[in-house]
Amino acid sequence: MAGEARSEEAGLVFHPMDQFIVKPFFGDGAVSWYTITNSTVWMALAVLAVFALLVLGTSKRAVIPTRMQSVAELAYGFIYKMVEDICGKDGVKYFPYIMTLFMFIVFANFLGLLPTAFTPTAHIAVTAVMAFAVFFGVTILGFVKNGPSFLGLFWVNSAPLALRPVLALIELISYFVRPVSHSIRLAGNMMAGHAVIKVFAGFAAITAIAPFSVLAITAMYGLEMLVSFIQAYVFAILTCVYLKDALHPHH
């Protein structure tokens, strides 16, 4: 697919989707399950960055925090407050999981914005694993905590009786669509943003519109910084909302 596009279009020397190809990081060859690919390398870098910020940043535990410690405390407090606000006091138990998800996504997104970097979160394979883990975890948790009364989530008691079966069907569909929208939202946003930047970069080869193209890349880059953070936040906040539904299924 990439090869055909390359030969035909004059201005576009690269295909905008080329950046998402998963290939071995060292040398060439086939990709098998144990191969170190660019995807795994950037995921590992994201984990290392989270580790560096949270462990090294807070290791001194200074009363007057350094810059790194303030950022780490800010991130911790931000997510902690979000979990507490949405899930309530009994949801705080699951705070580490949501914090892990948020920090990993935020760092994978921002590291992916570096030039020539690879964005693991732009791949549906990566985000789907996270979204389905949340989905199955939350469903099992709901049944463990509430037993069969977890199904009350689908039976809207405040609606008129005649309407309830219809609503139950709609609620059921929207429940099973959750992991799909949860994962595609993140992957789609990251992929679309990076592809748009690459498309504008392709226009930079045409002299007449090159200044406009560079301006557009700058503007898109700024927007992507915002989107990187907001999508990580939305992923975390939706995890909280799903968790709240599992803990308190009754409307």
Partner 1 sequence: MEGELAQMGQYIGAGLTAFGMGGAAIGVGNVAGNYLAGALRNPSAAAGQTATLFIGIAFAEALGIFSFLVALLLMFAV
**Would you tell me which residues interact with partner 1 (CB under 8 A)?**
82, 85-86, 180-181, 184-185, 188, 192, 230, 233-234, 237-238, 241
Minimum Å gap between C-beta 30 and partner 1 is 21
- Largest pairwise CA distance in the chain: 67
Comparison of 71 and 234: residue with beta carbon closer to partner 1? 234
The torsion angles phi and psi of 61, rounded to 5 degrees, stand at: 50, 50
Minimum Å gap between C-beta 144 and partner 1 is 25
Contacts of 217 (CB under 8 A, 6+ apart): 197, 200, 201, 204
Minimum Å gap between C-beta 161 and partner 1 is 27
Minimum Å gap between C-beta 195 and partner 1 is 12
- Report which of 111, 134, 135 is spatially closest to residue 121, judged by C-alpha positions: 111
What count of residues does the chain have?
251
Comparison of 55 and 177: residue with beta carbon closer to partner 1? 177
Comparison of 151 and 184: residue with beta carbon closer to partner 1? 184
Minimum Å gap between C-beta 180 and partner 1 is 7
Task: Report the distance separating Cα 246 and Cα 251, nearest Å.
Answer: 11
Comparison of 59 and 181: residue with beta carbon closer to partner 1? 181
Comparison of 73 and 84: residue with beta carbon closer to partner 1? 84
- Report which of 251, 245, 250 is spatially closest to residue 94, judged by C-alpha positions: 245
Helices 124-146 & 164-203 angle (0-180, nearest 10): 160
Minimum Å gap between C-beta 47 and partner 1 is 25
Comparison of 54 and 187: residue with beta carbon closer to partner 1? 187
Task: Report the distance separating Cα 62 and Cα 78, nearest Å.
Answer: 20
- Report which of 55, 48, 100, 47 is spatially closest to residue 236, judged by C-alpha positions: 100
As a whole number of Å, the end-to-end CA separation of the chain is 49
